[in-house]
Amino acid sequence: MPNFNAVGILLAAGESNRMGSPKALLPWRGTTLLEYQMNSLLQGGCDKVIVVTGKYDAEMAPLLTERPGIIRAYNPQYLEGKTTSIKAGIRELPDVIHSIVLLAVDQPRPAWVIEKVLRLHTDFRADVTSPGFDGHGGHPLVFDGQLRPELMEITEEDEGVRSIFRKPDIDHHRVKFDSAIVRLDINTPEAYEAALASYTELAKSKL
């Protein structure tokens, strides 16, 4: 049985209502946002990436089939909230895994950001690791593989993964970044245009 170091769960099941078109298929850095994120997770240290699809599953399917390291997981309950997509991804995880990297498709991250958070998660042997900038939390989130049962218990009513962060026995390591790249989130056409304009500077490695 293979022992996986890290598997990424890329959340791409949303309706993209505020954007007006599928965010995952937006042009980004010479490809689509979906492909960029998959590549970043793989290059950042994930052995495999589970892409959770929903409303636009059919449109995304051609980008997910016959792709080495990519697992497509359709979430039929996507209308019930993000927690259902996280659980759909968790169900597809290998039996033996060290770390789970959680990221949404509308949070573009260069590979070096993922690599840094994942490496420090391992170095500090934390239960949960997250990046931060200017006193605020960011993404991706990295969970110890042993937290799989806790991730399967999250609910929308209890604020999703935040319920795990609140547990008193959880060792949460925050990685400080000098760039707002870890906070970037694209929800509207205006945010998309702003991100296109600022990303090159934000994404510069400051290791």
Question: Mind spelling out the 3-state secondary structure of 3-52?
Answer: CEEEEEEEEECCCCCCCCCCHHHCEECCEEHHHHHHHHHHHCCCCEEEEE
62 in a structural domain: yes
Mean pLDDT by 10 residues, the chain (207 residues): 82 92 95 98 98 97 94 97 97 95 98 97 96 96 97 96 94 95 96 96 80
207 in a structural domain: no
What CATH number did the domain enclosing 82 receive?
A: 3.90.550.10
φ/ψ of 28, rounded to 5, equals: -155, 115
Instruction: Return the pLDDT at 4.
Output: 72
Q: How far apart are CA 13 and CA 53, in angstroms?
A: 4
φ/ψ of 190, rounded to 5, equals: -65, -45
- CA end-to-end distance (rounded Å), the chain: 35
91 in a structural domain: yes
When divided into structural domains, the chain yields a total of 1
Instruction: Return the pLDDT at 20.
Output: 85
Assign 201 to helix, strand or coil.
helix
In this structure, the dihedral spanned by the alpha carbons of residues 118, 123, 128 and 132, taken in order and rounded to 10 degrees, is -70
pTM (predicted TM-score): 0.96
Instruction: Return the pLDDT at 207.
Output: 53
Instruction: Return the pLDDT at 206.
Output: 62
87 in a structural domain: yes
Domain span holding position 57? 4-202
